Amino acid sequence: MNKHVECALRLLSNAIFVNAGIVAVSVVSLGSALTAEYVFGLQPCVLCLYQRIPFVVTTILGLTGLVLALNDRNRISAIMIALGAVAFLINSIIAFYHTGVEQHWWASAFEGCNVAVNPVAPGNLLESLREAQAVPCDVIPWADPVFGLSMANYNTMMCLGLAIGCGLCAWLIRNRKR
């Protein structure tokens, strides 16, 4: 077998490396979303917010898998990676749905749920809802200037690739010879 292929298979079947990668990708993705919101002022719609949830889940699964791998529990760690694959697939589905809404392929079922509520003043809930500016899910707040792809488009592709990659890595780790 080619030395480069052997090296790649060794890395992809290393539970520590894979779990650390899952954590890194998830944290960077969440950080990017928060940077876009708080630094560049891009207000998220409800579908944008839903796409963050699987990244939180994969961060937790990756950290759990990393602890298991560091304690030589690679086969159980592979289960965390497989669950991460499912979470990334769910994220890809949400992002694809969001892409469809942005492209007007279908209407969002969540259009009425995208109002920001001020959590500091629960007594003023109705007033907060009245004053909140709803962010429509079908408006693209940022598109890549070269390809014209939105963040939802990139998230669809990235998370689908991560789901496939995590599934492959979980299989390799599970079937790795000791």
Structure tokens given for 100:
């469809």
111 has a pLDDT exceeding 80: no
Q: How many Å apart are CA 155 and CA 64, to the nearest integer?
A: 24
Phi, psi of 169 (to 5 degrees): -65, -40
CA torsion angle 104 158 29 147 (round to 10):
-60
What pLDDT was estimated at residue 29?
Answer: 97
Q: How many Å apart are CA 166 and CA 57, to the nearest integer?
A: 14
Domains in the chain, please, with CATH?
A: 3-174 (1.20.1550.10)
What pLDDT was estimated at residue 128?
Answer: 52
- Please, which pLDDT band fits residue 64 given cuts at 50, 70 and 90? very high
Q: 121, exposed or middle or buried, with CB in 10 Å at 0-12, 13-18, 19+?
A: exposed
Structure tokens given for 6:
């052997």
CA torsion angle 37 53 159 102 (round to 10):
-60
Three-state secondary-structure class, residue 116: coil
b/e 124-156 (16+ beta carbons within 10 angstroms → b)? eeeebeeeeeebebbebbeeeeeeebbbbbebb
- Please, which pLDDT band fits residue 6 given cuts at 50, 70 and 90? confident
What pLDDT was estimated at residue 131?
Answer: 54
Mean pLDDT across 69-87: 95
Mean pLDDT of the chain: 87
Phi, psi of 143 (to 5 degrees): -130, 145
Mean pLDDT across 15-38: 96
Convert the pLDDT of each residue in 130-172 to its tens digit.
Answer: 555 568 888 888 899 999 999 999 999 999 999 999 999 999 9
Q: How many Å apart are CA 39 and CA 64, to the nearest integer?
A: 31
pTM of the model: 0.85
- Please, which pLDDT band fits residue 129 given cuts at 50, 70 and 90? very low
Q: How many Å apart are CA 43 and CA 173, to the nearest integer?
A: 40
